[in-house]
Amino acid sequence: MGMDFSTLRTLISRYCAGEENWVDSRTIYIGHKEPPPGTEAFIQQRFPDNRIVSSKYTFWNFIPKNLFEQFRRVANFYFLIIFLVQLIIDTPTSPITSGLPLFFVITVTAIKQGYEDWLRHKADNAVNRCPVHVVQHGKIVRKQSRKLRVGDVVLVKEDESFPCDLVLLSTSRDDGTCYVTTASLDGESSHKTYYAVQDTKAYNTEKEVDAIHATIECEQPQPDLYKFVGRINVYMGNESVARPLGSENLLLRGATLKNTSYIYAVAIYSGMETKMALNYQSKSQKRSAVEKSMNAYLLVYLCILISKAIINTALKYVWQADPNRDEPWYNHRTETERQRHVLIRAFTDFLAFMVLFNYIIPVSMYVTVEMQKFLGSYFIMWDDEMMDEELGERAVVNTSDLNEELGQVEYVFTDKTGTLTENNMEFIECCVDGHVYVPQVICNGQVLPDAVGMDMIDTSPGPDAREREELFFRALCLCHTVQVKEEETVDGIKHGIHQGKSTSFYISSSPDEVALVEGMKRLGFTYLRLKDGQMEILNREDEIEKFELLEVLTFDSVRRRMSVIVKANTGELYLFCKGADSSIFPRVVSGKVDQIRARVEQNAVEGLRTLCVAYRHLSPEQYEEVCHLLSDAKLALQDRDRRLAEAYDLIEKDLILLGATAVEDRLQEKAADTIESLHKAGMKVWVLTGDKMETAAATCYASKLFRRSTQILELTTKRTEEQSLHDVLFDLSRTVLRQHGDMTRDTFSSFSGDCTDYGLIIDGATLSAVMRPNQDDLNSGNYKEIFLEICRNCSAVLCCRMAPLQKAQIVKLIKASKEHPITLAVGDGANDVSMILEAHVGIGIMGKEGRQAVRNSDYAVPKFKHLKKMLLVHGHYYYIRISELVQYFFYKNVCFIFPQFLYQFFCGFSQQPLYDTAYLTLYNISFTSLPILLYSLIEQHINMDILKKDPTLYRDISKNSLLRWPIFIYWTILGVYDAIVMFFGAYFLFDNTTFTSNGQLMTTNTQMMFGNWTFGTLVFTVLVFTVTFKLALDTHYWTWINHFVIWGSLIFFVVFSLLWGGIIWPFLNYQRMYYVFMQMLSSGPAWLSIILLITASLLPDVLKKVIWRSLWPTTTERIQSADKLYEGQLSEFTPLASLHGPPKARTSDPQRNGSNPRRSEPFNKKVMITRWKQKPDYCTFTPLVRFTDGARHSKQGYTYSGAGSETSV
Catalytic residues: 415
Neighbours of 502 (CB within 10 A): 12
Specify whether the CB–CB gap between 1058 and 1082 falls below 8 A. Answer: no
Distances (CA, A) of 143 to 12, 133, 547, 942, 1011: 30, 7, 48, 58, 80
Q: Which of 229, 236, 171 has its CA nearest to residue 205?
A: 171
According to DSSP, the residues that pair with 1076 across neighbouring strands are none
Specify whether the CB–CB gap between 168 and 255 falls below 8 A. Answer: no
Specify whether the CB–CB gap between 166 and 268 falls below 8 A. Answer: yes
Specify whether the CB–CB gap between 701 and 606 falls below 8 A. Answer: no
**Alpha carbons 783 and 725: distance in angstroms, whole number:** 9
The beta-strand segments (E) located in 568-682 are 573-579, 588-590, 609-618, 655-667
Q: Which of 280, 271, 277, 273 has its CA nearest to residue 132?
A: 271
Q: Which of 179, 181, 151, 178 has its CA nearest to residue 164?
A: 151
Q: Which of 19, 270, 30, 287 has its CA nearest to residue 143?
A: 270
Neighbours of 287 (CB within 10 A): 16
Dihedral angle of Cα 197, 200, 204, 205, to the nearest 10 degrees: -130
- 10 Å CB burial of residue 1098 (0-12, 13-18, 19+) is buried
Distances (CA, A) of 984 to 979, 989, 993: 8, 9, 16
Specify whether the CB–CB gap between 607 and 1158 falls below 8 A. Answer: yes
- 10 Å CB burial of residue 561 (0-12, 13-18, 19+) is buried
- At residue 83, φ and ψ (nearest 5 deg) are -60, -45
**Alpha carbons 665 and 1160: distance in angstroms, whole number:** 9
Quick one: how far is CA 866 from the chain centroid? 12
Specify whether the CB–CB gap between 593 and 624 falls below 8 A. Answer: no
**Alpha carbons 178 and 110: distance in angstroms, whole number:** 48
Q: Which of 654, 629, 655, 622 has its CA nearest to residue 644?
A: 629
Q: Which of 824, 878, 864 has its CA nearest to residue 388?
A: 864
Print burial letters for 978-1006: b (CB count within 10 Å at least 16), e (below 16).
Answer: bbebbbebbbebbeeeeeeeeeeebbebb
Quick one: how far is CA 272 from the chain centroid? 24
Q: In what order do the strands lie in the sheet with 131-136?
A: 139-144, 131-136, 153-157, 262-269, 165-171, 250-251
